Amino acid sequence: MVVGVNVANVIMSLDGFKETAKKPLPGPHVLGKYNGMTIVLNPYYPDNEYVMGYNGDQWLDTGYVYAPYMALFATPPVTLDDLKTRRGMETRYARKVVNSRMYVKGSIIGGIVPAPTA
């Protein structure tokens, strides 16, 4: 489950949540587990939205396939006439949405309840 910041705050307050990240990390990272589901916090995702995918027992129980042919290839360093050394990088992979019905996207409505005023 990939969640925004506000959805992460709601999930972290639930009883079955087990935190794995001990300190806040920059960028998307695994926040913890809730009832066996891995929760990934993505601070760049909309705050009140989430997306959840199904992970089946078989290879065909998938919604999306990322198949790297060549994960990362680096050329040998080359120094040109400006005396700067350069190196090229390349990757080759295939991506395919197999079954988009394996994912659900949602959002939470509302916000933090304001503190009562005296």
d(Cα 17, Cα 107) in Å, to the nearest integer? 19
pLDDT tens for 21-39 read 777 778 899 999 998 899 9
pTM of the model: 0.68
Backbone angles phi, psi at 6, to 5 degrees: -70, -35
Among residues 83, 5, 81, which one has the least CA distance to residue 44? 5
With a cut of 50, list the residues of the chain below it in pLDDT. Answer: 113-118
The 10 Å CB-count burial string (b at 16+, else e) for 29-40 is eebbebeeeebb
Give residue 111's pLDDT. Answer: 55
Report the pLDDT value the prediction gives residue 116, as an integer from 0 to 100. 43
Q: Which helix (H) or strand (E) holds 113?
A: none
- Which run of H or E residues covers position 12? helix 5-12
Domain map (residue ranges) of the chain: 2-107
Angle (CA) 96 37 56, round 5°: 45
